[in-house]
Structure formats: structure tokens, C-alpha cells
Amino acid sequence: MSDIIIISGSPTELSRSEQVLKYLGSLLESNALSVSHFSVKDVSSQDLVAGNYNSPAIKQIAAAIEEAKGVIIGSPVYKGAYSGVLKAFIDILPQDILKHKPVLPLMTGGSPSHLLALEYSLKPLLATLKAHNLKGLYLLDEEIDKHNAIPIIGKDILERSRKQLDYFTQLVRHPALALSETY
Ligand SMILES: Cc1cc2nc3c(=O)[nH]c(=O)nc-3n(C[C@H](O)[C@H](O)[C@H](O)COP(=O)(O)O)c2cc1C
């Protein structure tokens, strides 16, 4: 059982958003939280396309989410929204799986004009699973070096990312805060 589950919604092999997620995971680990990483790539394309709720991979991921104290979910922007494969993945997760869980949503995109994809696509999707959404993070491709150990480049965005992670950690450690504060 891990404290935190991190889910990557990118189908790409060496993915920018996934590298950022891995980095955030390493920061959480250095803060004494245990972390498990999953990806849409862990579920067979056959199960995703067929909408197979009984997929062994999805059952294992769902069990890990249920045990976790918080979840981070990342996706690239594809055609102005989250990736299609992330939607297929979420479609076969149990209903209300994110109930009462702090969730940090993250998106990466090539263009600043799709910054609001976080607000109008990913966050509403997570809210249907009853997530307690944090403000979230949107990173531009130019702010990511996926080959670097610290893939977030730029002082401001690095600071914003760490701040969001701090809020997330506080909520994970003190769930009662969720009732009184807005992040
Ligand atoms: C099929 C496809 C569609 C994309 N559509 C958009 C888009 O609508 N808006 C945008 O800002 N970036 C778009 N991008 C760029 C990706 O969002 C961006 O490069 C992202 O960081 C890739 O993340 P990944 O490497 O984790 O998959 C698109 C990329 C692909 C491959």
C-alpha cells in the first residue's frame, strides 16, 4: 500500500507530463510519503477499447487508489482537452473511486491558449469521480526538459509546482483541512 498514487495519462513512451509526475513523486518520497506510479500504458489497449471493467490491471490500480491518501493525475493536452486514452482508462475505474481524496491534477501543453483545459476538461472529469480537486498545475512544453533530473525549468513554475505539492501534502496529512480551506 502506498500513501500516494500517481497516474500518467500520456500514451507517449518518453513523456513530458510523465517525467514531471515522476519528479513530483520523488519530492513526495523525500518528504517521507510512499508513492506508486501507474500509467494508462499499464492497461492493455484491448481492455481500454472494450471498456473492460474486469481488466486485472485496472482492478490492481483501483485497489491501490482505494488504499491511498491522495492521488496525482497528469495528462497532455490533446485537441484542447485531456488525452482520449486517459478518458478510456477513467471510464473503467469504479464509480466514486476518488471520494474524499485530495487530487492534484496536472496538464502539459504546447500552447498557453489551452491553459483552461485544466478547468473545463480534467477537473470536471475528476469531479465526477468525487475527487477533492486542488488548483492544479499547467506546464508548457518550453518549461519542461524531459531529459533532466529536475524536468521543470524556470524558477517561477518550479516554485508554483512545489507550492501546489506542499498544499497537496498538507491535505494528505491533515484531511480535515479540506473542509475549511480552499486550495
Ligand atoms: C495528438 C496531439 C494533440 C495535441 N493537441 C494539443 C492541443 O490541443 N493544445 C496544446 O497546447 N498542445 C497540444 N499538443 C501538445 C502536447 O499537449 C504537449 O506536447 C504535451 O506536453 C505532451 O505531453 P506528453 O509528452 O506527456 O505526452 C498535442 C500533441 C499531440 C501529440
C-alpha 42/C-alpha 133 separation (Å) is 24
| Residue whose CA is at the smallest distance from ligand 1 atom 22 | 76
Which pLDDT value is given to residue 167?
A: 96
Which atom of ligand 1 is nearest the CA belonging to 17? 26
Burial readout 53-77 (b: 16 or more C-beta within 10 A, e: otherwise): eebebbeebbebbeebbbbbbbbbb
Question: H or E element: which one contains 164?
Answer: helix 155-173
Which pLDDT value is given to residue 177?
A: 76
Which pLDDT value is given to residue 176?
A: 80
Which pLDDT value is given to residue 178?
A: 67
Could you tell me the distance, in angstroms and rounded to a whole number, from the CA of residue 101 to the centre of ligand 1?
27
183 residues of the chain, pLDDT tens digit each? 999 999 999 999 999 999 999 999 999 999 999 999 999 999 999 999 999 999 999 999 999 999 999 999 999 999 999 999 999 999 999 999 999 899 999 999 999 999 999 999 999 999 999 999 999 999 999 999 999 999 999 999 999 999 999 999 999 999 887 655 555
Q: Which residues line ligand 1 (CB under 6 A)?
A: 10, 12, 15-18, 76-80, 108-111, 114, 141
The third-level CATH classification (topology) of the domain covering 4-180 is Rossmann fold (3.40.50)
| Residue whose CA is at the smallest distance from ligand 1 atom 16 | 109
> For the chain, what are the domain ranges?
4-180
To 10 degrees, what angle do helices 16-29 and 155-173 make?
Answer: 50
Which atom of ligand 1 is nearest the CA belonging to 113? 11
